[in-house]
Amino acid sequence: MLVAPSILSADFGKLSLEVGSICEAGCDYVHVDVMDGHFVPNLTMGPLVVQAVKKAATKPLDIHLMVQNNPFFVDLFAPLEPEFLSFHIEEEKHLHRLIQQTRKHGIRPAVALNPHTDESLLEYILSDIDMVLVMSVNPGFGGQKFIPSALEKIRRLKERIERRNPSCLIEVDGGVSDQNIHALKEAGVDMVVAGSYLFGSPDYRAAIASLRV
């Protein structure tokens, strides 16, 4: 299991130290939640803060856009060279065009699904993306409880991916902990985002290790 700590739950008063610590503790990616206060009822960070995160990180960035006007934000964050850039299908009218725009920047495109969004909407673009981000909480805030129905969605999504694009990863974000990690693995998840579970632990290395199933 790949592990991507969400810095949304980090102590922003010592953000560089927090980012360095999770990288030293063995994470695979640094997950960055970008919220614009419109698509979700929260406002987080812009490119200057993410640039500081990138400078402190020794692992690649995984940026999750929870915004309106996705094309603008893709171009805004592309110079920071994240490995993955996720955008929500619920917000995008021209998804295939946005995927192409992201690839032109040399970034691996990913599509995010809110808890209520059916995975079947991805049928005709699965072959064009590198990852699907399944939200197992309502996007916008950290520390929420895992929504159990996400597991069935992940199983159906895994079957669809194996038919259309077996190399496409499944990432899950929301309420991930050592209590549900085995169920997520069995459902077909490749990468988990962990925020409050990880940053609320006194030992980042042990918390990351507990998700390595």
Amino acid identity at 112: A
Residue 158 C-alpha from the chain's centroid = 17
For residues 143 and 128, give the distance between their C-alpha atoms in angstroms, rounded to a whole number: 32
96 annotated binding-site participant: no
20 annotated binding-site participant: no
33 is catalytic: yes
36 annotated binding-site participant: no
* DSSP annotation string for 57-81: -SS-EEEEEE-S-HHHHHHHHGGG-
Q: How long a stretch of residues is the chain?
A: 213
Catalytic member of 28, 75, 173, 203: 173
33 annotated binding-site participant: yes
203 is catalytic: no
Catalytic member of 33, 75, 130, 203: 33
38 annotated binding-site participant: no
196 annotated binding-site participant: yes
For residues 39 and 66, give the distance between their C-alpha atoms in angstroms, rounded to a whole number: 6
Contacts (Cβ under 8 Å, ≥6 apart) of 68:
36, 38, 39, 91
31 annotated binding-site participant: yes
142 annotated binding-site participant: yes
User: Which residues line the annotated binding site?
Assistant: 6, 31, 33, 64, 140-143, 173-175, 195-196
What amino acid positions are annotated as catalytic residues? 33, 173
User: Which residues line the annotated binding site for substrate?
Assistant: 6, 64, 140-143, 173-175, 195-196
